Structure 1
Amino acid sequence: MKDAADNSIGRVARWPSLIGTILTMGISLIPQARAQGSDADKLLKAMSDYVAGQKTISVTFDSDIEVITSNLQKIQFTSSGQVQLSRPDKLRATRTGGYRDIEIVFDGKMLTVNNKDAKDYAQIDAPGTADQLIDVLRDRHGVVAPGADLLLPDVYNVMMADVVEGAVIGKGVIDGVECDHLAFRNVETDWQIWIESGARPIPRKYVITSKGIAEAPQYTLRIKEWKTDVPADAFAFKPESSAKKIALSDLGDIDEVPHGTANAGGKK
Structure 2
Amino acid sequence: MNPTKLVAMLSLFIAWLALPLTVSQPARAEGEDAKKILKAMSDYVSGQKHVVLKYDVDIEVITPELEKLQFTSSGEAALHRPDKLRVTRTGGYTDVELVYDGKTVTVLGKHTNTFAQLELPGSLDQMIDRLRAEHNIEMPGADLLLSNMYDELVAGVIQAKHIGHGVVDGVECEHLAFRNQETDWQLWVELGATPIPRKYVITSKTLAAAPQYTLRIKSWDTSTEPDAKSFTFAPPEGAKSIEITALADVGELAAPAEAQKE
- The interval holding the TM-score normalised by the smaller chain is 0.7 to 0.9
Which runs of 5 or more structure 2 residues have no equivalent in the other structure?
1-23
Q: Which residue of 2 aligns with 1:248?
A: 244
In 1: Cα distance, 2:186 partner to 2:175 partner:
7
Could you tell me which residue of structure 1 aligns to residue 102 of structure 2? 108
Paired residue type of 1:238: A
Q: In the alignment, which residue of structure 1 is the partner of 2:5?
A: none
Normalized against structure 1, the TM-score is what? 0.82
2:151 aligns to what?
A: 157
1:171-197 Cα offsets, whole Å, 9 max, x none, are 011111110000011111111000001
Contact kept, 8 Å, 1:171 with 1:179, in 2: the verdict is yes
The equivalent of 2:81 in structure 1 is 87
1:200 equivalent to 2:194? Answer yes
Paired amino acid for 2:196: I
- Report what 1:234 is aligned to: 230
Task: State the partner residue of 1:21.
Answer: none
Counterpart residue identity of residue 41, structure 2: M
Q: Equivalent residues in 2 for 1:1-268 (5 A)?
A: 35-145=29-139, 147-228=141-222, 229=224, 230-256=226-252, 257=254, 260-261=257-258
Alpha-carbon shift at residue 262 of structure 1 (Å): 7.2
Residues of 2 paired with 1:85 and 1:128: CA distance?
14
> 1:34 and 1:67 mapped to 2: Cα distance?
34
Q: 1:85 to 1:126 in 2, by over 3 A?
A: same
Larger RCO (alpha carbons 8 Å, 6+ apart):
1
Please say which structure displays the higher CA radius of gyration. 2
Would the aligned equivalents of 1:69 and 1:261 in 2 still touch at CA under 8 Å?
Answer: no
TM-score normalised by the chain length of structure 2: 0.83
The 1:175–1:36 alpha-carbon spacing in structure 2 relative to 1, beyond 3 Å, is same
Residue 75 (structure 1) shift: 0.7
Between Structure 1 and Structure 2, the one with more helix by share is 2
Which deviations, in whole Å up to 9, do the C-alpha atoms of 1:81-124 show, x marking residues without a partner?
11211011111111111111111101112211111111111122
**Residues 262 and 35 of structure 1: CA distance in aligned 2, closer, same or farther (over 3 Å):** farther
RMSD of Structure 2 on Structure 1 (CA): 2.1
Give identity over the alignment, percent.
57
Report if the CA contact (8 A) 1:95-1:146 is conserved.
Answer: no
Task: Quote how far apart the aligned CAs of 1:214 are.
Answer: 1.5
Shift of 1:213: 1.3
Farther off after superposition, 252-261 or 123-132: 252-261
1:94 and 1:146 in contact (8 A); partners too = no
Q: Is the 8 A contact 2:182 2:206 kept in 1?
A: yes
Does the Cα contact within 8 Å between 1:104 and 1:145 map onto a contact in 2? Answer: no
Kept after mapping to 1: 8 A contact 2:62/2:256: no
**Counterpart contact for 1:62–1:79, Cα < 8 Å:** yes
- 1:148 Cα offset (Å): 1.9
C-alpha distance 64-35 of structure 1, shift in aligned 2 (>3 A): same
Gap runs ≥5 in structure 1:
1-29, 264-268
